[in-house]
Chains A and B, each alone.
Chain A
Amino acid sequence: MDGENKPRVAVHKFSSCDGCQLALLNLGEDLLTLAARVELVHFAEAGPTNPDAWVDVAFVEGSMSTPEDIERIRRIREQSRVLIAIGACAVSGGIQGLRNQADGAAWIAQLYEHPGAIASLAQSTPVSAHVKVDFELYGCPVDSAQMLAAVNALLLGAVPRASTDKVCTECKRQGHPCVMVSRGIACLGPVTRSGCGALCPSLGRDCYGCYGPAENANTDALTAQFARLGLDATAIRQRFQGINSQAPVFLAAAQRTGAGHD
């Protein structure tokens, strides 16, 4: 593949922790292999800055949380053949989406001496709330293998496939004892999308939902189970209001608990 025909790739950052970009920056020596196969047109943290150039694939990390973000994501969409949202922030508004149910203006006034100088929208929203997204990669963080599989599929002209299993299924396959059944721990595995490798239950702890809601997630049944384990409405709401708090399925489950906000 010569330089002329290399797919042009951009990585854009919005409100985030930078952790999903690390899926590329942490590739080690494979990063140089990737750089040889694609043309990294814009990837500010790695060096190239050309945010407005046409690309074949744009990866977008982070949630939309300022008026400027909305304008920027529209320009990116216009300049990208394929737009992939990477990670919980870009897919579901992220942990900072926890402010969506709060009084943002009051929070700014409590944290900053000059509240008028802080440009911030009332809501932290996913990319798909503003522009068409071709593919969403879940996870907090997304993992490198998942990112490379998506890039490879796109290079071959295929549509990347997302996992539809639940963490529960992955956990059973690996043969871990169920933390909820055996130890009464309030685990989100039954309703969470797989992809992490069932890491938390493998340590004997609760899944806390990094990959967001799985397909056909029965959150009502899980809410009932959490109540049987002794969690009150607030604790149940907080279980669903974590890393992927604004994912519609988790948001609805949290609201059905009837618990108010702290």
Chain B
Amino acid sequence: MTETTRSVEIHVPVLARVEGEGALDLVIENGNITRLRLRIFEPPRFFEKFLEGHHYSEIPDLVARICGICPVAYQVTAAQALEQLYGVELTPWARALRRALYCGEWLQSHSLHVHLLAAPDYFGCNSAIELAQIAPDVVRRGLRLQALGNELMDLIGTRSVHPVGVRVGGFHAAPPVARVRELRVRLLTALSEAEALVRWAAAIPLPPDEQAFVSVAMRHAHDYAIEAGDIAASDGLQIGADAYDAHFAERHEPHSTALYSSYRGQPYLVGPLARLNLNHDRLPSQLCSLLVETGFALPSRNVFHSLVARAVEIWLALDEAARLLADYTLPDAPWVPVEPRAGVATGCTEAPRGLLWHRYQMDADGRVVNARIVPPTSQNQARIEADLQQSLLAFGLDRPDEALRLHCEKVIRNYDPCISCATHFLRLNVERT
């Protein structure tokens, strides 16, 4: 009996360092993968249903609770969809502040993922706390960047987890000038830390794992798309948020509480690497030069580059927030009045983990008739399975079970699945016959 024909079962109760809980079933027969299923069993929380009947003004506070790590993505997507339906034009002040708030969330979420969740894998550590024993400066730098992201969210949103400042039409109140100026200085100072982070991330030896996939991300006429732009795909598609349904489909598989998304019947990638693949021409020249120096070439077909992509977007978020907050002054009014009307509100933004799409049917009194929310993790779920399939073959199925499990976890962490939003994580069951 050879290594690949023995019958083995591995059971890992909880996958560490992902946001939620899930399991992976892997069946290997005669050296081939015959079954590979990523099961997500975060209990359903029914957000779309209990939004029904609620007033538009409550939606930003309610949808924030879908995810404690990316509440701003949910709030801003909802607010913008409704603003578009209601014909509300935000003031340039509010638009700049929304984008700066979103930069805070990218900075916080990406720093958390890179240092606390992903990096320990590459240094033989089980946690950032272990990693801090061999690379204290790296971990401390990461935690400082994460803290700065939280401070930016706190400044603009008045609380970093579930901010209370966003309202349909703008913000409830304007942050004080002195605090904005003080934080902006620290954002600029942190750019050198972010540069060192990009160099460090780009130098981590990553598995060579070229795969063919379609990248989907938003694209903006001149900015690096965060909160505004069309939906674009690497095969040339470019559509508005309202056409999402015509090109993307969701289906439910019985083994998971997250829905699976597909584009033209195929899995696709959303998230930082998909964004960079489609929008590397929108990066500031200073960042482009840094990428050339580090040898990080875009577009990339290696999803392990997601870790570097997050580091790049950390630099970008700092730079962009500092640019947006330059010359900050108090506005005449932080919000514009809103007049509800009946109709369908659709909108999308780039959450830290990728494209986030909302659709609300609203009645004339401004109440939700029905709601649909497509989070990034469910869009990536089919791609994660396809990736695991290919990546495991490239890695070698005859490796020991423990090595297979670690490799699977690394692959899955590339996608930073936020399983709370969709949906928990990794029991690996390997059966070999």
Q: Does B58 contact A (CB under 8 A)?
A: yes
**Does chain B have a CB within 8 A of A22?**
yes
Q: How many residues of B contact A (CB 8 A)?
A: 73
The answer to whether A49 and B16 touch across the interface, beta carbons within 8 angstroms, is yes
B58 touches A46 (CB 8 A): no
Whether, in the assembled complex, B132 has its beta carbon less than 8 Å from a beta carbon of chain A, the answer is yes
B252 contacts A114, C-beta separation under 8 Å:
yes
Binds B, one of A1-9, A103-111, A249-257: A103-111
A157 at interface by CB-CB < 8 Å: no
Interchain CA distance A185-B214 in the complex, whole Å: 48
A222-240, CB < 8 A from B: 234-235, 238
Return the contact of B50 from the options A26, A47, A99 (Cβ within 8 A).
Answer: A99
Q: How far is the CB of A248 from chain B (nearest CB, A)?
A: 19
In the complex, chain A residues whose CB is within 8 Å of the CB of B144:
28-29
Residues of B within 8 A of A128 (CB): none
Note all chain A residues with C-beta closer than 8 A to B17: 44-47
A199 within 8 A of B: yes
The answer to whether B20 touches A26 (Cβ under 8 A) is: no
Flag whether A25 is at the interface (Cβ < 8 A).
yes
Q: List residues of chain B with CB within 8 A of the CB of A199.
A: 158-159, 164
Q: A18-B20, A51-B13 are known contacts. Are A203 and B46 too (CB-CB below 8 A)?
A: no
Q: Are B49 and A111 in contact (CB under 8 A)?
A: yes
Q: Does A159 lie at the interface of the complex (its beta carbon under 8 Å from any beta carbon of B)?
A: no
Residue pair A47, B15 in contact (C-beta under 8 Å): no
How many residues on the A side are at the interface (Cβ–Cβ under 8 A)?
Answer: 65
The reply to whether B172 and A69 form a contact with Cβ atoms under 8 Å apart is no
A17 touches B150 (CB 8 A): no
B44 part of interface (Cβ distance < 8 Å):
yes
Q: Which residues of B contact A114 (CB under 8 A)?
A: 252-254
- CA separation between A175 and B18, bound complex, in Å? 42
A234 CA to B254 CA, complexed, in Å: 36
Within 377-399 of B, Cβ neighbours of A (below 8 Å) are at: none
Contacts of B129 in A (CB 8 A): 31-32, 35, 40, 46-47
Does residue B186 face the partner (Cβ distance < 8 Å to A)?
no
| Cross-chain contact A32 with B143 (CB below 8 angstroms) | yes
Distance in angstroms between the alpha carbons of A141 and B68 in the assembled complex: 8
Q: What A residues does B259 contact at CB under 8 A?
A: 112
- CB B363 to nearest CB in A, in angstroms, measures 11
Q: Can you give 9 A-B contacts (C-beta < 8 A)?
A: A13-B21, A13-B424, A17-B420, A31-B129, A32-B143, A104-B46, A111-B46, A119-B43, A202-B173
